[in-house]
Structure 1
Amino acid sequence: MEQLVILSKLEQEYLLHAIEAAIPLRDARQFRLWTQGPLQALLPHQVMVCLQFGEHDELRHIECAHSMVLDAGVHNRLANRDDGLALRLARHCGGEAEPALAPFLGELRELGMENLLIRGTERLPGGATFFVLFGLPHRPRPRHAYFLELLLPYLHMGLQRVGGSQARTRAAALARPVSAREAEILHWVREGKSNEEIGLILGISGLTVKNHLQRLYRLLGVSNRAHAIARGMALQLFDRPTQMLARAA
């Protein structure tokens, strides 16, 4: 049976203030100020790592906000995009409210971050988000998990806006927009199709596909297919609807 959580008057005020302050969040600066202000007042912590995933569970965006001077090595161990602790926790725990953290306890103790809160959304259209609050002053109680649960929709919306805003900024910095044909070809590259297979799908030659890819590489500043896919994910190019000119076999 779940424990009933009754909020004090002060906690109710902090919660309402955190919700009201979260509604207008639009960029990374506003989001970080919110995490270190209204959210910090309700859920004191040293470091919060926020992860935004795409529809195929690829990591799109990561934010790390902290209320302390954070050593670069510790920052990297917590928030590295490839194998940081927050990412590994997200892969391991998903959206579970009470995840099993036994595999990570040694590392958490070593970092002095064993008091933590974790919460993630379920799979949603456009992707999921996951949040880790490291370095709480005391072992979290059910009421702290309840606060985070109540604020999860606002954390999710805020991070989605931040990730989308930064992706649009990066896309605007390109020398020109990615064409519909280039986006379509990149889609099939991500699906693992060869140039010849893409040509058959789109009704063009493999050489034409290769030429499109070379122009796309130069535009994105990459040198191979894997880097182009990663850059496309960062720019959210795969979110755009593509008009397929032929059915995939």
Structure 2
Amino acid sequence: MSIETASGNEPPEGRRAQAIVQVIEAAVEVRRRYQFFVWTQGVFQLLLPHKVAICGFYERSRKHVQLEVFNSVLVPSSVLSVLTDGQSPAMQQIVNAWVNNRGRPLAMRLDTGRAILSASEGLRDAGFTELLIHGVSRPQRATEIETLFVFGSPGGAVTAADVASIDLLLPHLHATYLRVQSYERESGEPRAVAAVAHTGYASVTISEREEQVLCWVREGMSNQEIGAQLGISPLTVKNHV
């Protein structure tokens, strides 16, 4: 099942509207990091395709922005270390660029000027040419980050549809990511930041059926449609996801 449009990238409007509803509905079930990762790898990819997501939130107990990377492709550990360090020149430049853009979604090219400094070369070597940045400022503090989201894909350029999608999805990204932080903090689960920072979730092993299910989810098929294809119930499909 393929998505065909005039641009080759953006799904038809009917499919896009359905995808938006599915992403929003699925968001309310997300409580843990692995669920957040799976959520962004499903129908979310129709609206905002990416292979790497840098996510951060303001941690009040430490008074700084805590960053982590969710990656479905291999990225050098040296680059991941830079991207998860809120004090690194690379991340400072990313944050400042977004703040200077008055909190609007921003596409940052990696082949112009001093774009993200030391991390830029490593990202370009991995095939990244542009990053899409958006976030939420702290209340009454427009120059300080409450949440930050940076997306990119090897060989992928940011499109107008991507910018529109991240603007639309930002409230749900913000609320869902903060819910994950709150749930894991209250449940006493360790953050395991180092594991996320260095490997993302690329090393997670999934079965052939789970891989097929995720593929169909990305193409916009419903649980009912996938279940009919595999001869299983929609609930079993949901459990696979």
- TM-score, structure 2 length as denominator? 0.58
Partner of 1:111: 123
Q: 1:163 aligns with which of 181, 186, 189?
A: 181
Give yes or no for the alignment of 1:93 onto 2:98. Answer: yes
In the TM superposition, 1:1-249 aligns within 5 A as 8-54=13-59, 58-83=63-88, 85-86=90-91, 88-94=93-99, 95-98=103-106, 102-104=113-115, 107-108=119-120, 110-112=122-124, 113-124=128-139, 128-135=146-153, 137-170=155-188
Q: Which residue identity lines up with residue 25 of structure 1 in the other structure?
A: V
Question: What do residues 8-28 of structure 1 show as CA deviations (whole Å, max 9, x unaligned)?
Answer: 222222222211111221121
Higher relative contact order (CA 8 A, sep 6+): 2
- Give the 3 Å change call, closer, same or farther, for CA 151–122 of structure 1 in structure 2: same
Distance in 1 between residues matched to 2:129 and 2:187, nearest whole Å: 36
Q: Which stretches in structure 1 are left out of the alignment for 5+ residues?
A: 173-249
Structure 1 residues 53-62 or 25-34, which shifts more? Answer: 53-62
- Give the 3 Å change call, closer, same or farther, for CA 109–12 of structure 1 in structure 2: farther
Please give the secondary structure, in 2, of the residue aligned with 1:131: strand
Q: Which residue identity lines up with residue 98 of structure 1 in the other structure?
A: L
- Normalized per residue, the structure richer in helix is 1
- Normalized per residue, the structure richer in strand is 2
The alpha-carbon deviation at position 97 of structure 1 amounts to 2.6
- Give the 3 Å change call, closer, same or farther, for CA 84–164 of structure 1 in structure 2: farther
Counting aligned pairs with the same residue, the percent is 24
The alpha-carbon deviation at position 69 of structure 1 amounts to 2.5
Distance in 1 between residues matched to 2:23 and 2:130, nearest whole Å: 22
What's the RMSD between the two structures over aligned residues?
3.4
Instruction: Work out the number of aligned pairs and report it.
Output: 168
Please give the secondary structure, in 2, of the residue aligned with 1:48: strand
- Give the 3 Å change call, closer, same or farther, for CA 124–6 of structure 1 in structure 2: farther
Flag the structure with larger Rg: 1
The alpha-carbon deviation at position 6 of structure 1 amounts to 10
